[in-house]
Amino acid sequence: MKSLLDIRNISIHFKGDHEKVNVVHDISLQVNPGEIVGIVGESGCGKSVTSMSILRLLGRNAEVKGEIFFDGRNLLEISEKEMRKLRGNGISMIFQEPMTSLNPLHTIGKQIGEPLLRHRNMSKSDRKSRVLKLLNEVGIPRAEEIYEEFPHQLSGGMRQRVMIAVALACDPALIIADEPTTALDVTIQAQILELMKNISRQHQTSILFITHDLGVVAEMCDRVIVMYAGQIVEHADVAALFRKPKHPYTVGLLNSIPDMAADKERLVPIKGHVPSLRNMPSGCRFFERCDHAMDICRQEPRMFADGTHECRCWLHADEEGRP
C-alpha cells in the first residue's frame, strides 16, 4: 500500500543567538490511507515539533532537513502559496487547547465555515448547510443555536468537538491531532476518542495522533511510534507493542501505568531525567537511565527490525530479520 504521509530522515534544529539546538534527529515514519498512527512520548521528546513541521508551522528559527511526502509531493519543496492551499484542505490539525485556537470574537458558524470559504468558495447558504451538518456529525446538539454562539459559551468538550468540525470541513485525507483530549475529563475524553475513531472509519481519514498517554494509544491507534529525546526508539502495531514491548524506555512507560486489576500498590518510575537537548549523551540516549545498559550502548544504535516490530536498542540486534 502506498503511504499517504511519508516522512524520511527528518532532523529539526532551532537556531539561537550563539548555537543550534537539535530537537528532532533522523525521524522516519509513514501513515497509510485510513490508518490511525500514534506518536507517544513524554513532554519535550519532539512529538509536537515533528507534527508542526509537516504543515510548516514552525518559526523562522527552525531548520528542517529531510523529506516530507504527502500524497507524493515533498512538502518541504512546494511554495508557501501551495502550502496554504493544503492546510485545512488536504491536511487539517486539531490542537491541544481549543480556547487558544478558536477566535473569541467570531461565532462558531463563521469559524467552521472559514475553510469552506477559503478552499471551496461556497456561498453563504451552502456554507451554513455544511456547518450545521458538521455540528450534527460531531455530536453537538442545538446546531442552529450553537452556530450563532461564541467559544466562551461552550464547555471544553463542546469546544473540542467544534475543533474537530473545523478539521473535517473540507474532508481532509489526513488529520494531525496534537493531544486533543489532554484538558478534558475522562468521560468527555472517551467520547471524543470514540468520535474520532468513527470519523476515521466513516470517511477513511488518516489520523496522526500525538499523545503522552499509552491508554489513549491502546484505545485509538493501529500502529504506535515511541519517541525519546528527539528519536524514534520503537515502532510496532499496537497489539505487539503492548504484548511484548522491546525498548527499555517503552517497558518503563508501561510499568508506570496504574493497573487496578494487577493490584499494584506502587508505581514503578523510570529513574533519572531526560537528557538536555544541549548536552545529549553520545551513543544510546537512554543509556544513563537504563537498567540493561552495556558497554556497546556507548555507540549509537540504529533501528533493528524483527518483522514489522522495530526497536532502537542493542539488546535486540540479534533479532533482525527474524520472521
Q: What's 222's domain CATH number? A: 3.40.50.300
| Residues 112 and 92: beta-carbon distance below 8 Å | no
Provide the CB-side half-sphere exposure for 55 (13 A, CA): 23
* Mean pLDDT for the stretch of residues 222-249: 95
Q: Is residue 141 part of a domain?
A: no
User: Which secondary-structure segment (H or E) carries 198?
Assistant: helix 186-203
Kindly report, residue by residue over 14-41, the tens digit of the pLDDT.
998 788 899 999 999 999 999 999 999 8
Residue in the block written with cell 496534537? 178
Q: Is the pLDDT of residue 196 over 80?
A: yes
In a domain, 313, yes or no: yes
What separation in angstroms does the CA of 163 have from each of 57, 88, 199?
Answer: 18, 11, 13
Q: State how many domains the chain has.
A: 1
Q: What is the pTM of this model?
A: 0.92
Q: State the amino acid at position 107 in one-letter form.
A: T
Task: Write the pLDDT tens digit of every residue in 59-95.
Answer: 999 999 999 999 999 999 999 999 999 999 999 999 8
The domain in which residue 298 lies consists of 5-90+170-319
Instruction: Give residue 321's pLDDT band: very low, low, confident or very high (50, 70, 90).
Output: low
Q: 81 burial class (0-12, 13-18, 19+ CB within 10 angstroms)?
A: exposed
> Does residue 26 sit within a domain?
yes
Amino acid at site 14: F
Q: What is the number of alpha carbons within 13 Å of residue 201 lying toward its C-beta?
A: 9
98 inside domain: no
* The three cell numbers locating residue 266: 506502587
198 and 148 Cβ atoms separated by less than 8 Å: no
Place of cell 533493528: 304
**Which ranges constitute the DSSP H helices of 14-121?**
47-54, 80-86, 98-101, 108-115
